[in-house]
């Protein structure tokens, strides 16, 4: 109950304290990439439905000799999650061995906050879930990278909701099967039947809160929230408590944080970002319906959108034809091992299944990321030596 109450009140405070909303000065992804010895270029792209997105290209000192890779972040995060683990960050590991690395920031994040006709403050801007990300963001990023690199195929890595967006994109746009060499989904938020009790209760509370207060956006990229992580959680004992809070929320303490005291500070400064409440509501619908399905708009609208069906149809996972590697954690409280096994039974072309002793966030900060994540992903990609 205490954890639920804390999350509830933090979200209420952050999303109703408008003067504290942060305007990003500079580009911390560029700073982090350069600090780790790589060059970086920022690209702006536009989706078919008018959203402006940012891609960061990580550039090694030596020319890329291998195929392009797009990294797709999770819910309530931005692409910064791929560069906060020092030289153990997946983006740097891939670039170091010659891959052309691109970091996608989904719509709604502070890096991708533009639209051709809608303001970031308008409710209409925030009318999206992971379905629209899959339908529009993923294809736009893939097509841009392929054209820029003058290639025909690439690799994609997606974490959590990023995995859901990727698979959704392939299902709704099957032609993507011909543009992806292989994909890697880490802690995939696809089936959520067995979500742990604490995150289950919290995500329902959050969606209920959004309806009560008519909120359509969760602005966690704020000075107020950042202050919480950088000042409050920086105190020695409080810092350890904050790390314990994160561990409990996402499945359990796997002891993978290199510096537990500063973990929440790192997240609030570089990782946590804005999202729409429709994104969270879609995940709640998937959870409650016990199936990976399209967005439920209610019987009347569903009937118009889904060929007369009063209920949203499930996504047809049989349409995914690319080689797929699944990595999941044994103490992940959001995408449980049981739910990942359900997903495995729905996918035809599984290249590999890797089970690891981690929680939902260890993908981002694990001190064993080099051997648990980077090496398996790189070894798998290296099998596809053809330069597309």
Q: What's the rounded Cα separation, in Å, for the pair 327 and 337?
A: 10
Which residue in the block uniquely carries the two structure tokens 């939902």? 360
Q: Give the pLDDT score at 336.
A: 93
Domain ranges of the chain: 2-295+322-382
For the segment(s) 2-295+322-382, the CATH number from 3.40.50.2300, 3.30.70.100, 3.30.950.10, 3.40.50.1820 is: 3.40.50.1820
155 neighbors 102 (Cβ within 8 angstroms): no
pLDDT digits 0-9 by tens, 295-350: 999 999 999 999 999 999 999 999 999 999 999 999 998 999 999 999 999 998 99
C-beta neighbour count of 309 within 10 angstroms: 12
Judging by beta carbons within 10 Å of its beta carbon (0-12, 13-18, 19+), is residue 212 exposed, middle or buried? Answer: exposed
CA neighbor of 312 nearest in space, from 282, 351, 334, 353: 282
197 contact partners, CB below 8 Å, separation of at least 6:
none
Which band of pLDDT confidence, cut at 50, 70 and 90, is reported for residue 19? very low
2: left (phi over 0), alpha (psi -120 to 50) or beta: alpha
Q: Which two tokens stand for residue 255?
A: 């002891």
Which spans in 129-185 are helix H? 130-132, 138-149, 161-172
pLDDT higher than 90, residue 215: no
Q: CB within 8 A of 282, min separation 6: which ones?
A: 129, 130, 131, 295
Which residues are annotated as catalytic?
A: 160, 332, 360
Instruction: Say what the pTM is.
Output: 0.92
Looking at residue 117, the DSSP 8-state letter turns out to be S
Instruction: Give the model's confidence band at 26: pLDDT under 50 very low, under 70 low, under 90 confident, else very high.
Output: confident
What is the reported pLDDT for 18?
47
Out of 5-19, 43-57, 216-230, 297-311, pick the least confident. Answer: 5-19
Question: Which tokens go with 264?
Answer: 């929440």
Residue 20: the pLDDT is: 43
d(CA 137, CA 126): 14
Query: Chain-wide mean pLDDT for the chain?
Result: 89
């Amino acid at each position: 109950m205490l954890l639920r109450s804390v999350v509830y009140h933090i979200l209420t405070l952050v999303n109703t304290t408008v003067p504290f909303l942060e305007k990003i000065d500079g580009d911390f992804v560029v700073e982090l990439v350069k600090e780790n010895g790589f060059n970086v270029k920022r690209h702006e792209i536009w989706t078919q439905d008018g959203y402006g997105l940012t891609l960061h290209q990580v550039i090694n000192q030596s020319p890329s000799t291998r195929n392009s890779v797009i990294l797709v972040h999770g819910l309530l995060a931005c692409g910064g999650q791929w560069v906060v683990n020092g030289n153990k960050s997946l983006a740097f590991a891939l670039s170091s061995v010659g891959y052309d690395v691109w970091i996608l920031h989904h719509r709604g994040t502070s890096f991708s906050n533009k639209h051709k006709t809608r303001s970031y403050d308008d409710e209409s801007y925030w009318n999206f879930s992971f379905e629209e990300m899959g339908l529009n963001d993923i294809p736009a990023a893939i097509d841009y990278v392929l054209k820029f690199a003058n290639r025909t195929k690439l690799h994609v890595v997606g974490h959590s909701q990023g995995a859901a967006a990727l698979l959704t994109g392939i299902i709704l746009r099957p032609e993507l099967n011909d543009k992806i060499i292989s994909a890697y989904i880490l802690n995939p938020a696809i089936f959520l039947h067995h979500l742990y009790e604490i995150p289950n209760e919290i995500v329902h509370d959050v969606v209920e809160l959004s309806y009560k207060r008519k909120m359509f956006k969760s602005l966690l990229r704020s000075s107020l929230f950042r202050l919480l992580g950088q000042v409050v959680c920086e105190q020695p004992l409080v810092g350890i408590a904050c790390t314990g809070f994160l561990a409990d929320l996402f499945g359990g303490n796997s002891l993978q944080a290199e510096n537990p005291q500063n973990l929440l500070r790192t997240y609030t400064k570089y990782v946590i970002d804005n999202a729409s409440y429709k994104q969270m509501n879609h995940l709640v619908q998937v959870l409650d319906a016990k199936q990976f399905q399209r967005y439920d708009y209610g019987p009347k609208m569903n009937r118009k959108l889904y060929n007369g069906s009063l209920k949203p149809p499930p996504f047809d996972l049989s349409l995914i034809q690319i080689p797929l590697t699944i990595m999941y954690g044994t103490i992940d409280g959001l995408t449980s091992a049981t739910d990942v096994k359900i997903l495995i039974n729905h996918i035809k072309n599984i290249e590999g299944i890797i089970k690891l002793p981690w929680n939902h966030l260890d993908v981002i900060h694990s001190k064993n990321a080099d051997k648990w994540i980077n090496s398996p992903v790189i070894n798998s990609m290296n099998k596809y030596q053809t330069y597309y």
